[in-house]
Amino acid sequence: MRNRIIIPLVIALLALSAGFAYVHWSKGGTGSGLYSRHWTPDPVQGYWDPDNFYQSPDSVQGVFEGKLCVQCHEGITPGIVNDWRASRHAQSEEPVYCSDCHGNDHQQLRMPTPDICAKCHEKQHGEFQDEARYGFPSHVLAMERAVDAKHFVDKPTAEVQSCIQCHSAATKCDSCHSRHRFDAAEARRPEACITCHSGPPHPDDETYFASAHGKLYLAEGNDWDWSKPLIMGNYKAPTCAYCHMENGRHQVAHKSLWKFGLREVNPHTSKNQVLRKEWIKLCMDCHQEEESRQWLTELDQERKQAWQKLYAAEAILKNLRSEKLLQPPAGERPPYPMDWLDSLWPRERIGFFEGQASVFYNVSAIERDYFEMWYFDNLGAYKSAAHGNPAGVETGHRKMAASLDRIETQANELRELSQAEKKAGITTKPSGDLWMKGTYTDYNREHN
């Protein structure tokens, strides 16, 4: 009896230890993250993730005081010096010089990271770090999210660098505050956010600017005094920071009711009831309470309608998978990047909970249609609802409905074709290497 307990316990402890050892080993390569041994950083990675990759130049040698840094860089990079002179760093009683952020040994220079900024901005850094407890998506976990993704090592360097440019919000503060001005007034304007929050997966820019708030900003925003704090009465219309970083709080992940539209959640949990009160209170800076409540109710209704469409599409695809009608089947596509299980047990991944493999290129046409419905049309509708753009909601749902119709039509065609082939005695043969090779796939294998 005793051995029945001890032996499984020992096996479990050994497996756990082996798992930790493997993760530690996998992070020991030239890259970073779980797949660091499978990719080599581009030089620009030193600026996106300076703690891990920045290398100080050796063009100048010596240890210099801050005033000497300014003197030299007035001739080399005058624009940077001008920005610094206009900043609070330069104008305070005890100026914050280059050496305070970059170090004074020119052979051991560093690029400032959030930890460096935290030496003076402890409160803001603490709020930023606090995002981690809310999980993904969040700014503080953005770099981890990128480099720990299996597809990160499977795409060409230039392609992943375009991702890292925004995901570097986790590893440096100048994603929101421009070097070397670091002016809060810059970060209060929506342009500071839409540098990254734009494009089909997260159309915050077009949905905000199409709203009444955004239109007012576009018409009059250049005349507003952006040096004022983000509090009631200081701004005629809210911007991204006003709603998501009220009073300058450097924490945005805590206010998501619908997990940014990426997954279905229960909006009426005790936690979400608290958040709803916070949102209503914020909207009441300018609007009536009943009006604010109504907007949240409309957002809930929009989400329910969206997930009805998405689940209907998922059901169609899962039925096709069970009938083995998805072509090419998973076993005849390149395996999912860095996934040993996918090599042993190829399987089409459908829907959010199975992993959004359709974001990548190794899928059939009907699966890609579903992905664009979920990731583009669905998120466009959600962002429009959240930002007060009713025309965008209508457009997003019209596109989702069209995608669902197209998926249903394709599914019927696949079934009719399969029945016709069976009736004619035609047996579908494996396509060999037809889908396993190609310019994009072959290039990735050599340039990841």
In a domain, 14, yes or no: no
Q: Are residues 211 and 327 in the same domain?
A: no
Q: Are residues 345 and 209 in the same domain?
A: no
The separation between the first and the last C-alpha atoms of the chain, rounded to the nearest angstrom, is: 52
Q: Pick from 25-29, 217-221, 275-279 the range whose average pLDDT is largest.
A: 217-221
Among 180, 201, 223, the domain-final residue is 223
Q: Are residues 182 and 305 in the same domain?
A: no
Q: Please check whether residue 143 is in contact with residue 128, taking contact to mean a CB–CB distance below 8 angstroms.
A: no
**Better-predicted residue by pLDDT, 53 or 332:** 53
The sign one gets for the Cα dihedral 433, 436, 441, 445 is negative
pTM: 0.88
Q: Are residues 54 and 143 in the same domain?
A: yes
- φ, ψ of residue 118 to 5 degrees: the values are -65, -20
Distance, CA of 120 to CA of 136 (rounded, Å): 27
pLDDT digits (tens, 9 = 90+) for 215-229: 999 999 999 999 999
**Residue partners of 367: CB distance under 8 A and separation at least 6:** 317, 326, 348, 350, 358
In a domain, 141, yes or no: yes
Distance, CA of 17 to CA of 152 (rounded, Å): 26
| pLDDT at 273 exceeding the cut of 80 | yes
Distance, CA of 296 to CA of 299 (rounded, Å): 5
- Position 448 confidence tier, pLDDT thresholds 50, 70, 90: low
In a domain, 274, yes or no: no
Q: Are residues 335 and 421 in the same domain?
A: yes
Q: Are residues 296 and 183 in the same domain?
A: no
pLDDT digits (tens, 9 = 90+) for 134-188: 888 889 999 998 999 887 887 778 788 888 999 999 999 998 888 899 899 999 9
In a domain, 8, yes or no: no
**Better-predicted residue by pLDDT, 153 or 45:** 45
CATH number for the domain harbouring residue 328? 1.20.850.10
The rounded percent of the chain whose pLDDT value lies above 70 is: 95
Residue 213 tokens read as: 């708030």
pLDDT digits (tens, 9 = 90+) for 342-366: 778 888 888 777 766 566 667 888 9
Q: Are residues 193 and 94 in the same domain?
A: yes
**Mean pLDDT value across the chain:** 88
In a domain, 332, yes or no: yes
The sign one gets for the Cα dihedral 325, 326, 327, 328 is negative
Domain extent for 140: 24-223
Among 205, 223, 241, the domain-final residue is 223
Residue 378 tokens read as: 């669905």
Least reliable range by pLDDT among 75-89, 132-146, 308-322, 334-348: 334-348
* pLDDT the model gives residue 357: 58
Question: Nearest to residue 210, comparing CAs of 412, 391, 395, 432?
Answer: 391
* Total number of domains constituting the chain: 2
Helix (H) / strand (E) containing 261: none
Least reliable range by pLDDT among 124-128, 265-269, 441-445: 441-445
Question: Nearest to residue 396, comparing CAs of 372, 380, 375?
Answer: 380
In a domain, 351, yes or no: yes
Classify 63 as helix, strand or coil: strand
CATH number for the domain harbouring residue 59? 1.10.780.10
